[in-house]
Amino acid sequence: LKGNLKNITKGLKFVTDYMQTIKTKADELAALGKHLDHEDLIEKVLEGLDSSYHSVIDATNSKDTPITFDELHEKLIHKELSLHTISPFLLLLTSAHLANTRPTHKLQLFAHRGQL
């Protein structure tokens, strides 16, 4: 079980699912008498995150007092929401840019071929 816990990463999971998976594995270990320290649990959560959560990782590691599991969960959810809020906006900007540049490119292509 401890090996399974080490291999868990957030990947494409939602933050809540990711943290629930870690918490479940930690509870299973505790039921077997192998309790995981709170700091080790927090460290495991942070280790399984990708670079898009770097700001939360840095903020958590720089705190003078240890963060609770629930506080970390809340911070990660806020970060997850901000990532999902920004992405569609960037997609919209990219789509708008492509829509504005394609006709010009097409006109240049046809003009070059003498088909305009």
> What pLDDT was estimated at residue 56?
95
> What pLDDT was estimated at residue 81?
86
Place of tokens 């670079």: 51
By CB atoms closer than 10 A (0-12, 13-18, 19+), residue 26 is: buried
Residues 3-33: pLDDT tens digits?
Answer: 677 888 898 888 999 999 999 999 999 999 9
> Treating both helix axes as pointing N-terminal to C-terminal, what angle do 69-113 and 38-47 enclose, rounded to 10 degrees?
0
Q: Whole-model pTM?
A: 0.68
Place of tokens 């594995």: 25
Q: How far apart are CA 23 and CA 25, in angstroms?
A: 5
Residues 51-67: pLDDT tens digits?
Answer: 999 999 999 999 889 89
Backbone angles phi, psi at 52, to 5 degrees: -70, -15
Residues 78-115: pLDDT tens digits?
Answer: 899 888 765 555 555 555 554 554 444 444 444 444 44
